[in-house]
């Protein structure tokens, strides 16, 4: 699920340039979004800050077992290695080319295993992980629902899924769809395949259907807006006219409030505990939200 923006980044690195944003390949979280400064150094610091925000939302602690889905060039794994060195981490990406650069970033220290695989079909044993991360990648997947089901399968009860995604404002579907089409956001656009965004309510429903409880849904759009000038600077430097146009379309949606950037986290439910609670409620004559069914009597 890669697009021309990944091809452009890989070509830049092959020519001797640093990985985009040095380590990270996602939007930034800016502490002072009103300040005019599109320098790569500021962008890098903001990308680090977004990574920290997502790890905090997922309650990732040192010593945990962590899978980074859509690990890109290894920035999050390297970030985790510095801040939580006892975590047992695995990186997964469908694009072997990105994993090649991730291996280079993570050397010479003991590297996390890096696996080429589909985020909707995780090669991981059930219940074997404490945390799953998916930073700014789920909109590239063939199915968010399939990914959520796989994440639920591989997480232990109580484990967390933490991610960032573009979330659609209520009532904005027509405007978002029109802008996505005009900006080439679809099957073969600059950013590759991009699925239609969900609303916050849509994410909550998806989570419940997969066995998750919502922990965090933070709209951080305002703090991410300086990402767009920084991306335009990078696109101009690379001579990527298509990248400039597409990024401008996404920025217009963000500025209008139609397309938001959210940090989300979910806890994997304990299915057995949930069944026990339901059984206990049923035995006491209580049902969730509907009240008790009337008893029939016969004479």
- 161-211: pLDDT as tens digits: 999 999 999 999 998 888 877 766 666 666 667 788 999 999 999 999 999
Q: Is the pLDDT of residue 285 over 60?
A: no
The stretch 67-95 carries a mean pLDDT of 94
The stretch 24-32 carries a mean pLDDT of 90
Per-residue pLDDT tens over the stretch 50-68: 999 999 999 999 999 999 9
What is the domain partition of the chain in residue ranges?
A: 4-270
Q: Is the pLDDT of residue 294 over 80?
A: no
Higher pLDDT, 117 or 39: 117
What is the spatial distance between Cα 169 and Cα 183, in angstroms, rounded to a whole number?
19
What is the spatial distance between Cα 85 and Cα 23, in angstroms, rounded to a whole number?
17
pLDDT at 186: 63
What is the spatial distance between Cα 180 and Cα 259, in angstroms, rounded to a whole number?
11
pLDDT at 286: 38
Q: Is the pLDDT of residue 28 over 80?
A: yes
pLDDT at 293: 34
Per-residue pLDDT tens over the stretch 223-274: 999 998 888 877 676 666 766 777 888 898 999 999 999 999 999 998 655 5
Of the ranges 38-42, 264-268, 289-293, the best mean pLDDT one? 264-268
3-class secondary structure, 123: coil
pLDDT at 280: 54
pLDDT at 284: 47
Residue 136 annotated among the catalytic residues of the structure: yes
Higher pLDDT, 232 or 35: 35
pLDDT range class, residue 290, cuts 50, 70, 90: very low
What is the spatial distance between Cα 31 and Cα 45, in angstroms, rounded to a whole number?
10
CATH number of 4-270: 3.40.50.150
Take residue 297 and report the two structure tokens written for it.
């009597």
Catalytic residue among 34, 41, 107, 136: 136
pLDDT at 9: 73
pLDDT at 248: 83
Can you list the alpha helix ranges (DSSP code H) found in 120-226? 144-154, 173-182, 200-210, 221-224
Choose among 202, 203, 218, 206: nearest CA to 261. 218
Query: What proportion of the chain, given as a percentage, has pLDDT over 90?
Result: 56
């Amino acid at each position: 699920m890669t697009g021309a923006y990944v091809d452009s980044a890989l070509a830049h690195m092959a020519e001797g340039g640093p990985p985009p944003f040095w380590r990270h390949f996602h939007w930034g979280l800016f502490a002072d979004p009103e300040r005019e400064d599109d320098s790569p150094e500021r962008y890098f610091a903001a990308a680090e800050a977004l990574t920290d925000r997502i790890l905090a939302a997922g309650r990732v602690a040192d010593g945990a077992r962590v899978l980074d889905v859509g690990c890109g060039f290894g920035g999050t794994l390297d970030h985790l290695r510095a801040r939580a060195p006892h975590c047992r981490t695995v990186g997964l990406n469908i694009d072997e080319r990105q994993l090649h650069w991730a291996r280079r970033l993570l050397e010479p220290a003991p590297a996390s295993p890096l696996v080429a695989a589909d985020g909707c079909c995780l090669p991981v044993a059930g219940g074997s992980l404490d945390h799953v991360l998916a930073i700014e990648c789920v909109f590239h997947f063939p199915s968010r629902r399939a990914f959520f089901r796989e994440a639920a399968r591989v997480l232990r009860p109580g484990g967390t899924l933490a991610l960032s995604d573009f979330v659609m404002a209520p009532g904005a579907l027509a405007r978002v769809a029109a802008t996505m089409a005009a900006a080439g956001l679809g099957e073969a656009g600059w950013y590759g395949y991009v699925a239609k965004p969900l609303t916050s309510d849509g994410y909550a429903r998806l989570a419940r259907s997969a066995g998750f409880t919502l922990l965090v849904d933070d709209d951080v759009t305002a703090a991410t807006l300086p990402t767009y000038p920084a991306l335009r600077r990078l696109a101009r430097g690379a001579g990527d006219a298509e990248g400039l146009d597409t990024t401008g379309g996404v920025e217009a949606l963000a500025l209008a409030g139609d397309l938001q950037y959210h940090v989300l986290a979910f806890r994997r439910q304990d299915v057995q505990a949930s069944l026990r609670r339901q059984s206990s409620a049923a035995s006491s004559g209580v049902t969730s939200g509907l009240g008790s069914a009337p008893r029939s009597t016969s004479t």
